[in-house]
């Protein structure tokens, strides 16, 4: 069965802290993605990676960075958390290819920055 | 870039049929996806269209017209558990990234 896991379901951090969100997939997928989801704004792509050590900016990369040292793991980093980064963060993965499969999502991490 | 529009909310009655529309403008179309998302949960895949026409999967069907930039998701024999948000997403040709609409919240009442 397809599995994408995220390190925490709920996280509370203080302004200025460095925050790591971890995502692991066990499907040997090449592509991995980080989104945030906010009421009224929907899902927005922050960063994605199509291979180990490769990363590409999505639509809203400001204030975030990512790391992909291993194929199965994709980390989202908030260098200095701010209150406007309070959100639901969703990780996803997919296979590569012209008829590539859908994206499979992890359960999400609800981050609150105080 | 991509621009995707879908209604914010819809209501329907148990046992009925509901159609959720999605229109899009895109610079590099490579397929349209529908996802279901229950409150507090991750989106789950419902359907995928890359060619024009109707794809049927049990109680759910999805239609695509590429020339019109239009898709719909049809839900038949509605059940209470179908109350959820339905997300339309367009895939980019180059990187296989998805751009999502804001979602349609469907409320099914008895």
Average pLDDT of span A52-75: 96
pLDDT of residue A95: 87
Say whether pLDDT at B34 is over 70: yes
Whether residues B97 and A90 touch (CB distance < 8 A) is answered with no
DSSP line for A32-73: EEEEEEETTTEEEEEEEESSTT--EE-S--TT-EEEEEETTE
Per-residue pLDDT band at B26 (split at 50, 70, 90):
confident
Chain A residue at shortest CA distance from B33? A102
Average pLDDT of span B19-42: 92
Average pLDDT of span A14-24: 97
Chain B residue at shortest CA distance from A31? B96
* Chain A interface includes B60 (CB < 8 A): no
Average pLDDT of span B40-50: 92
Matching residue, tokens 């990780």:
A91
CA distance A27 to A71: 10
B/e letters for A71-82, b = 16+ CB within 10 Å, e = fewer, are ebebbbebeebe
Average pLDDT of span A84-89: 97
Other beta carbons within 10 Å of A16: 10
Whether residues B42 and A103 touch (CB distance < 8 A) is answered with no
- Give A100's contacts in chain B (Cβ within 8 Å): 96
CA distance A49 to A66: 9
pLDDT of residue A98: 60
B14 DSSP 8-state letter: T
Average pLDDT of span A41-49: 94
Say whether pLDDT at A100 is over 70: no
- Determine which of B24, B35, B43, B44 to mutate to test the interface with A (most A C-beta atoms within 10 Å): B43
Average pLDDT of span B28-32: 88
Say whether pLDDT at B94 is over 80: no
Distance from CA of B102 to the nearest CA of A (A): 4
């Amino acid at each position: 069965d397809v599995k994408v896991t995220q390190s925490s379901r709920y996280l509370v951090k203080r302004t200025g802290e460095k925050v790591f969100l971890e995502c692991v997939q066990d499907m040997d997928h090449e592509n991995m993605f980080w989104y945030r989801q906010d009421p009224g704004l929907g899902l927005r792509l922050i960063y994605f990676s199509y291979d180990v050590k490769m990363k590409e900016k999505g639509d809203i990369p400001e204030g975030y960075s990512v790391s992909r040292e291993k194929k199965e793991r994709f980390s989202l980093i908030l260098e200095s958390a701010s209150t406007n980064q309070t959100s639901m963060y969703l990780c996803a993965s997919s296979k590569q290819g012209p008829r590539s499969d859908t994206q499979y999502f992890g359960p999400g991490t609800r981050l609150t920055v105080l | 870039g991509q621009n995707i529009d879908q209604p914010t909310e819809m209501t329907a009655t148990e046992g009925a049929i509901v159609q959720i529309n999605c229109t899009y403008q895109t610079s590099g179309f490579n397929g349209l996806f529908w996802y279901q998302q229950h409150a507090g949960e991750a989106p789950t895949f419902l359907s995928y269209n890359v060619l024009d026409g109707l794809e049927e999967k049990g109680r759910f069907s999805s239609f695509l017209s590429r020339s019109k930039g239009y898709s719909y998701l049809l839900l038949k024999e509605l059940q209470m558990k179908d109350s959820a948000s339905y997300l339309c997403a367009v895939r980019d040709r180059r990187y296989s990234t998805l751009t999502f609409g804001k979602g349609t919240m469907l409320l099914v009442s008895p």
